[in-house]
């Protein structure tokens, strides 16, 4: 406020205060409408749902990859034991143990070997049988010896175990092999699956051995499966 004494008169000039300016501006300003608020809520919900969906998708992908990694590890372990023992079948340093393949079927095998060179093949880990067995609804690859008397699990969730026995000329021998001494090599094929099913997956694959024979499938379920196959030379039998 300013005093003006011109012509002997008191003149008062009053400026609008800043508070008045602010009040004036607020009164003239426009706010959000109800439609705009609802639209903002809807957009926020869509963004949140998208982020959650992406998170769930990544989580499922990670879980599937983790299960496949575990499956691959147990399959390799199973194949390692099979290769190791079958390659030793017929080991008989003294020539007195009569070691070799005892019986050879398309889904099981029994073999003997004289590991300690004492002239027999009756000790622990010298008489070995591989086959599949059911334990509480879970199919497992079992390894049985005279010491254990029952199957010991090598790997679980194994859906197929297949053996093809090749003779001296490399041709497959009919199973069960009537004369196991003719076996010179063994083709091994195993199929394993994940422990849990994936609701968004369907296994329509057909699994075959190295001869092209179907050994499993299609299963048409939600389990992911893996096939591993190899051929093992029975070097001790080849010498006989």
How many domains does the structure of the chain reveal?
1
Q: Is the pLDDT of residue 8 over 50?
A: no
| Spatial separation of the C-alpha atoms in residues 107 and 109, rounded to whole Å | 7
139 within some domain: yes
Overall pTM surpassing 0.85 (yes/no): no
Query: Which three-class secondary structure state does DSSP give residue 130?
Result: strand
CA 220 to chain centre: 17
Tens-digit pLDDT profile for residues 198-234: 888 999 999 999 999 999 999 999 999 999 999 999 9
CB 81 within 8 A of CB 152: no
Please give the average per-residue pLDDT across 149-161, as a whole number.
94
Where does the pLDDT of residue 15 fall: very low under 50, low under 70, confident under 90, or very high at 90 and above?
low
Domain that holds residue 192: 51-238
CB 227 within 8 A of CB 191: yes
Q: Is the pLDDT of residue 140 over 60?
A: yes
Q: Is the pLDDT of residue 9 over 70?
A: no
158 within some domain: yes
**What's residue 13's pLDDT?**
52
| Spatial separation of the C-alpha atoms in residues 54 and 153, rounded to whole Å | 39
CB 200 within 8 A of CB 182: no
175 within some domain: yes
**What's residue 53's pLDDT?**
76
115 within some domain: yes
Tens-digit pLDDT profile for residues 36-86: 778 878 888 888 887 877 767 666 667 677 888 899 999 999 999 999 999
Where does the pLDDT of residue 14 fall: very low under 50, low under 70, confident under 90, or very high at 90 and above?
low
Strands 152-156 and 158-166: unpaired
**Higher pLDDT residue, 34 or 30?**
34
Mean pLDDT over the full length of the chain:
86
CB 162 within 8 A of CB 212: no
Please give the average per-residue pLDDT across 180-207, as a whole number.
95
Q: What is the percent of the chain with per-residue pLDDT over 70, rounded to a whole number?
A: 83
Q: DSSP state, 173?
A: P
Residue with tokens 């067995």: 133
């Amino acid at each position: 406020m300013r005093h003006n004494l011109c012509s002997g008169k008191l003149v008062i000039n009053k400026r609008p205060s800043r508070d008045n300016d602010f009040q004036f501006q607020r009164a003239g300003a426009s706010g959000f409408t109800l439609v705009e608020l609802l639209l903002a809520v809807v957009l926020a919900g869509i963004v949140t749902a998208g982020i959650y969906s992406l998170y769930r998708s990544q989580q499922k992908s990670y879980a599937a990859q983790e299960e496949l990694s575990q499956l691959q590890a147990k399959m390799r372990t199973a194949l390692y034991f099979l290769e190791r023992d079958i390659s030793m079948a017929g080991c008989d340093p003294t020539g007195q143990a009569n070691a070799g393949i005892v019986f050879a079927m398309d889904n099981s095998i029994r073999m003997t070997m004289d590991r300690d060179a004492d002239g027999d093949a009756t000790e622990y880990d010298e008489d070995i049988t591989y086959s599949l067995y059911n334990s509480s609804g879970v199919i497992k690859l079992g390894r049985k010896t005279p010491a254990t008397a029952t199957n010991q699990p090598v790997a679980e969730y194994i859906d197929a175990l297949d053996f093809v026995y090749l003779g001296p000329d490399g041709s497959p021998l009919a199973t069960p092999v009537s004369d196991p001494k003719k076996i010179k090599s063994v083709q091994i094929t195993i199929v394993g699956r994940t422990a849990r099913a994936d609701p968004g997956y369907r296994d329509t694959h057909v699994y075959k051995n190295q001869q092209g024979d179907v050994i499993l499938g299609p299963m048409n379920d939600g389990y992911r499966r893996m096939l591993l196959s190899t051929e093992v030379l029975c070097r001790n039998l080849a010498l006989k």
